[in-house]
Structure 1
Amino acid sequence: MTAEFRLPATQPRMKIVLMRHGKPDFDFSRRINAVDFARIAHEYDIARLADTPPAAAISIARQCQAIVCSDLIRSALSAQALGLEDIALTSPLFRESPLPYPDSGAVRLSLTAWAVLLRISWLLGYSRNAESFQAARQRAQKATHHLAGLAAEHGSVLLVGHGVMNRLLAKALRKQGWQETQAPGSKHWSFGVYEYPAGYR
């Protein structure tokens, strides 16, 4: 039996939990070229979920007093799968930073290969048809202030978010003095935990 995850019992501290959404019901084995990418990206954004959350994800989610989602459907569906109904905030601030892609090209690769290649290119400054890395970092900085404000009000916050954006949020929180007590993983339903003294402003 999987042990239930519990936030540590300490002196009053605010907590922010960054959780990645569940696994979308989506076929990544298809081979496509650049012209297909915008259509395929839209298909991914409207996909339903293909799995259910593990016990540890459900446990920590239900300990949080305020729930935040991005405006992408996989975030809302994941919150529902966790048994969460009272969403304090839904905002595009927390949505995944989309992959860039070229407007033409005959090269056909698997979606997984495209995702790796384009995300590395994005980190190196390529941003055609997408938000730039710098813009995503600035958005993450703004988003952390909303999370911190909710944490100050409610004590604990769960964001049901996305892999890359959650990592940018985690980095922004650490720079603002939040202590990472559990690092976020890369798998679906994985989560990171961040704490700050209750007197934070």
Structure 2
Amino acid sequence: MASAIILIRHGRVAIASDGLFSRERFLRYLEDYDTAPLCLDSRPPEELTERLRLASGLFASELPRARESARMLSTDREIRYEAIFNEEPHHVVPRLLFQMPLLAWFAWSRIGESTNRSLRRAIAERGSIAAKRLTVEAHHGTTALIGHGWFNRAIARSLIESGWRCVLRHRGSEPWSFRVFMRE
């Protein structure tokens, strides 16, 4: 029997993200993003809810956007919320004096992290721990995680390194996107 792990990104967060951001505004945005609710019209795709009906283990990050997404996806099932699945914080926010669009700040921040060897190693280790947690649960049946885009990538890399295959990638890295990993 094949084991399956589904990595899901939370729903769309209700927070304004338009215009140009100074470094200070970007840092405030990050704080606000961690506490903001989901958009009222943010609904998971039917294909995802169908897949989750088969899941025996459901996990979610402890952050509010993942908790709210998990409740929307599974109102009548036990969900285990664990900090190991929380989004990786932005460790490197450059001290730039000009304003940029939000996407540019995210890119600069993540590029800065990827060039820091010790930080990259720490993120990979945390991703490996999270992947192992999901792998243990997947021995009992399909296991799903409602998490975050950036940290789900770290988990995905670790799953692939340990022999899992990504058999489905739905909607890239948008809100409610998901990836399905299988292992014989």
Identity among equivalent pairs (%): 29
* Partner amino acid, structure 2, of 1:16: I
State the match for 1:186 in structure 2: 173
Residue segments in structure 2 that go unaligned for 5+ positions in a row:
none
State the match for 1:6 in structure 2: none
Q: For 2:91 and 2:130, how far apart are their aligned partners in 1?
A: 22
State the match for 1:25 in structure 2: 14
Once the two structures are superposed, residues 18-68 of structure 1 have per-residue CA deviations (whole angstroms, 9 ceiling, x without a partner) of 111111111111433223333221100111111111111111122211100
Superposition TM-score, scaled by structure 2 size: 0.88
Aligned length, in residue pairs = 181
Q: For 1:19 and 1:159, how far apart are their aligned partners in 2?
A: 6
Q: For 1:143 and 1:157, how far apart are their aligned partners in 2?
A: 12
Q: For 2:117 and 2:182, how far apart are their aligned partners in 1?
A: 34
State the match for 1:161 in structure 2: 147
- Structure 2 residue 5 is matched with structure 1 residue 16: yes
SS in 1 for 2:163: coil
Q: For 1:104 and 1:126, how far apart are their aligned partners in 2?
A: 20
RMSD of aligned C-alpha atoms? 2.0
Change (3 A) 1:62 1:104: same
Q: For 2:124 and 2:46, how far apart are their aligned partners in 1?
A: 31
Superposition TM-score, scaled by structure 1 size: 0.81
- Structure 2 residue 34 is matched with structure 1 residue 45: yes
Change (3 A) 1:140 1:87: farther
Change (3 A) 1:78 1:101: same
SS in 1 for 2:176: coil
The Cα shift of 1:125 comes to 2.0
Change (3 A) 1:79 1:46: same
- Structure 2 residue 57 is matched with structure 1 residue 66: yes
Q: For 1:180 and 1:115, how far apart are their aligned partners in 2?
A: 25
Residue segments in structure 1 that go unaligned for 5+ positions in a row:
1-11
The Cα shift of 1:87 comes to 3.5
Task: Between 82-91 and 57-66, report the one with greater CA deviation.
Answer: 82-91
8 Å contact kept, 1:24–1:48? yes
